Structure 1
């Protein structure tokens, strides 16, 4: 006996068993009555036994057919489910999104974007994993995550990346005298205690070059990996800091203010994904929305 049964045969069997009539089954399936009869005849030949008896003008499943029907119901329901999920995927309404990001993003800018993204997509779930840039690159190269938000990215043959330059600002607590200036320069910060990123980061090196060019030595008080940590320290009066405007904007309601820093030292942010893994539509749509959310903070 062949086991290569066709879906249309199973639908015909299920429909005739439900209605007791080939004519009614043909109407529901949108095909002719002879077509239903042929499907059942072929199916009977495949399985090797009769499928229906006629009793009082109604077709009733044989004992063997009744034994098959529960499994047929499960198959048809599963196919309906697969079809529905496929429609949701095409409509960007279902799927799972795995995002690796810098720790600061996991508690600042990303949650708001994610909340809006998920609000219109009830079938979408997400994993957010914060870690250092080196680890994010390892995950993306290994195709463990769909996309990543990182910095200090120098390129990799297995990674597709888009670099966005974000304006940098000097952050100050409310009431600080330097808020009277339209922009803050290295000379303005000569007597200020400074909170800055790691000395081995590209952002710190570029910032330090501007201080050296102005003949000003940084008065370093705290070295912190995350801009959000710098914001918290400035709020507590530890010192001032030069960070991404994207991070500074999130602290405006908490008593932290900022002014443009000159000369411009943009923070380089990278959106990355595995280059050899075909991205889902959900991944591409999320990356587009996240990219759009950065435009108000881009350096000219």
Structure 2
């Protein structure tokens, strides 16, 4: 294994990474400033060294094998760590340039983060900010190992290698169309939703488990018509009259359009989000500044979080 480690060059791993991310040897060669034959030879040498194929050829296309996909996940994180080293070298030389990598759930990144990022970059215009969306467990691992500087993760964390600071809570609400038969209700409960088609986020989420637990306690079988994986699509489907979407109000607010109605769901289900950093090292100056701006955003009266929980409302 020691000999194998010595033989594999960083450049060949980068070539493999570029081929997967770009989808072609030609584009990978362009990104690396090399010729296509040189990158092809580098890939062939890498496969020979490791003893298994990374791609199979499909009508001239390179498609990653299962082994290739497994290796790519690790190389992808390693490339991110190496890029952090290069960025640090540039920062030391300039003293004013920095990099901050943030991980957050997709709906949080799309609906909540833009205002925070805008305020941050106004204060630090030369900082390179990277926003990544990964699964919850991958996000936690990236923060703990400092592959990411910080992130927004839903509580509870369930890890001791992470430090968290609670930043915002938001209730689960019901989004429905203006013509829905339940539109005049003050609140919606599992009993009132009995027999009505529902739109829920995919299985495996904490919020989904909370919702199903409340329906079970009420002795009601939820009529799940549609499952989706983003809050935005759940709201859009509900506003078209395809069902009642049960979603996080803070995340849903940016996606609500004219004609939709938002009603509270009872019993109250609270979604709590925290700002997370690695517990194994001190956060950087930029990370602390990002937390400061995040707190200021959620303490502002006009923020989406401040508006959440204000009761039933219509977007007409």
Output the TM-score relative to the length of structure 2.
0.60
Hey, what does 2:289 align to over in structure 1? Answer: 285
Shift of the alpha carbon at 1:159? Answer: 0.7
> What is the CA–CA distance in structure 2 between the aligned matches of 1:279 and 1:257, rounded to whole Å?
41
For the 8 Å contact 1:166–1:297, the answer to whether it is kept is: no
* 1:186 equivalent in structure 2: 190
User: How much has 1:124 moved relative to structure 2?
Assistant: 2.2
Residue 187 (structure 1) shift: 1.6
State the secondary structure of the residue aligned to 1:189. coil
Counting only pairs closer than 5 Å after superposition, residues 133-148 of structure 1 correspond to structure 2 as: 133-148=136-151
**What is the root-mean-square deviation in Å for CA atoms of aligned residues?**
2.6
Corresponding position of 2:253: 249
Query: Deviation digits for residues 246-298 of structure 1, max 9, x if unmatched?
Result: 02211234443211111101123232111122212221221233244345167
Q: Distance in 1 between matches of 2:217 and 2:189?
A: 11
* Alpha-carbon distance change, 254 to 270 in structure 1, aligned in 2, over 3 angstroms: farther
Q: 1:254 to 1:292 in 2, by over 3 A?
A: farther
Query: Residue 178 of structure 2 is aligned with which of 174, 177, 190?
Result: 174
Which runs of 5 or more structure 2 residues have no equivalent in the other structure? 1-90, 299-304, 311-316
For residue 229 of structure 2, what is the aligned residue in structure 1? 225
Kindly state the Cα deviation for residue 299 of structure 1 after the two structures are TM-superposed. Answer: 6.9
1:234 aligns with 2:238: yes
Tell whether 2:132 aligns with 1:122.
no
Distance 1:259 1:288 in 2: 32
- 1:106/1:193 CA distance change after superposition, 3 Å: same
Quote the Cα distance in structure 2 between the aligned partners of 1:225 and 1:184. 23
Q: 1:253 to 1:227 in 2, by over 3 A?
A: closer
Aligned with 2:176: secondary structure? strand
* Alignment-derived partner of residue 45 in structure 2: none
Counterparts of residues 21-170 of structure 1 (less than 5 Å): 95-151=98-154, 153-163=156-166, 164-170=168-174
Number of residues of Structure 1 aligned to a counterpart in Structure 2: 213
What is the rounded CA distance, in whole Å, between the counterparts of 1:291 and 1:256 in structure 2?
30
Distance 1:251 1:226, change over 3 A: closer
Query: Is the 2:102–2:150 contact (alpha carbons within 8 Å) kept by the matching residues of 1?
Result: yes
CA displacement at 1:219 relative to structure 2: 0.2
Does the alignment pair 1:296 with 2:306? Answer: yes
Do the aligned partners of 1:133 and 1:152 also contact (CA within 8 Å) in 2? no
Partner deviation per Cα, 1:32-56 (whole Å, 9 max, x = no partner)? xxxxxxxxxxxxxxxxxxxxxxxxx
Secondary structure in 2 matching 1:241: strand
Structure-1 residue corresponding to 2:212: 208
Rounded to whole Å, the distance in 2 between the matches of 1:211 and 1:82 is: 56
